[in-house]
Amino acid sequence: MKRKQIVMASALFAGVSLTFLIALSAHTHGNSSELTWSENLIVFAPLDRDYPDIDADALAAIPERMPIEGTDALPSLNLEPEHVDWNPGERIDLEQYIGEEKGGAGYVFAELHSPVERTATLGIGADWWIECWMNGEPFFDTLQAGNPSGRFSILDSRVQVELKEGRNVLAMRFIRGSASASLSIGDETMFAAERRR
C-alpha cells in the first residue's frame, strides 16, 4: 500500500517565518511502527560478474554515479543510476538493466525507514546469486550455492538485520541466472500475503 507522509517544515523568508507541509510518497504496510520502503530501486548496471567488488564503505549510501575499477580483461566503468518502480515484497525482473546473459550483474539499492532502532527480518529471493549490505555492513549472500528455490520470492531466504532509527540503505550486488533476472525484497509484514499467492 502506498501512503503519503505529511511533513511539517519551517522556513524564514524576507524576515517572515513560514510553516508549510510537504507530502512524501512511500510504500508502507500498516501501522506506524512498520518499515517504510522507497518507491524506486536504484540500479547501476550492466556489469559482468567478474568485476572486482566495490568497497563496502561505498555501499553505505546511494551514489550519484558508480565508478567501477576495471581489470586486464574488463574496462573501467562509470555507471549512471536507473530509477526503477517496484512494489516491495513482489518479484521484479531486472533483465532490461542487467542484460540477458547468465552472469550479468548490477548493484541495486533500496531505502527503508525505521521509526526505531531495531532488528528486522527481511525476505530475499534472487535468480540466482545475491550479496547484501545494510548501511555498508554485509549481512547476507547466496554466492556459494545460489538461491535456495526456484520461486524467487521473499519467502526463499529470511534474514535478520540491524536497522538504525530513520533512513537505512540496503545495497545488493545481484548476479542473474540463466532463466531470468528476478529479484524479490520485502519484510516480515509481507510474508503472509506472499504465502497466499
User: What pLDDT digit, counting tens, does each position of 90-124 carry?
Assistant: 999 999 999 999 999 999 999 999 999 999 999 99
Exposure letters 123-161 (e unless 16+ CB within 10 A, then b): bbbbbbbbbbbbbeeeebbbeeeebeeebbbbbbbeeeb
Half-sphere exposure of 109 (CA within 13 A, CB side): 23
Statement: residue 142 has pLDDT above 70 = yes
Average pLDDT over residues 53-70: 93
Residue 157: the pLDDT is: 93
Q: How many CA atoms lie within 13 A of 150 on its CB side?
A: 2
Residues 6+ away with beta carbon under 8 Å from 134 = 161, 162, 163, 168, 169, 170, 171
pLDDT at 49 over 80: yes
Residue 12, beta-bridge partner list: 17
CB 125 within 8 A of CB 91: yes
Predicted local confidence at residue 46, as pLDDT: 96
DSSP-assigned letter for residue 171 = E
- In terms of C-beta density within 10 A (0-12 exposed, 13-18 middle, 19 or more buried), how is residue 60 classed? middle
Q: At 34, is the pLDDT very low, low, confident or very high (cuts 50, 70, 90)?
A: confident
Q: What is the pLDDT of residues 168-187, one digit of tens each?
A: 999 999 999 999 999 999 99
Query: What's the rounded mean pLDDT across residues 79-88?
Result: 96
Q: Specify the pLDDT at position 31.
A: 46
Report the candidate in 43, 67, 38 with the shortest Cα–Cα distance to residue 169: 38
Using the predicted structure, report yes or no on whether residue 133 has a pLDDT greater than 50. Answer: yes
Average pLDDT score over residue span 124-134: 95
> 42: which 3 cell numbers?
536504484
The pTM score is: 0.82
Arithmetic mean of pLDDT, 63-81: 94
**Structure confidence at residue 33 as a pLDDT band (50, 70, 90):** low
What pLDDT does residue 5 have?
A: 45
Q: Is residue 47's pLDDT more than 80?
A: yes
DSSP assignment string, 41-110: EEEEEEEETTSPPPPGGGGSS--SSEEE---SSS--EEEPPEEEE--TTS-EE-HHHH-SSTTEEEEEEE
Res. 80: pLDDT tops 90: yes
Read off φ and ψ for residue 96, nearest 5 degrees: -65, -15
Contact 142, 76 (CB under 8 A): no
**For position 173, what pLDDT does the model report?**
97
> Is there a cis peptide before residue 46, judged by omega within 30 degrees of 0?
yes
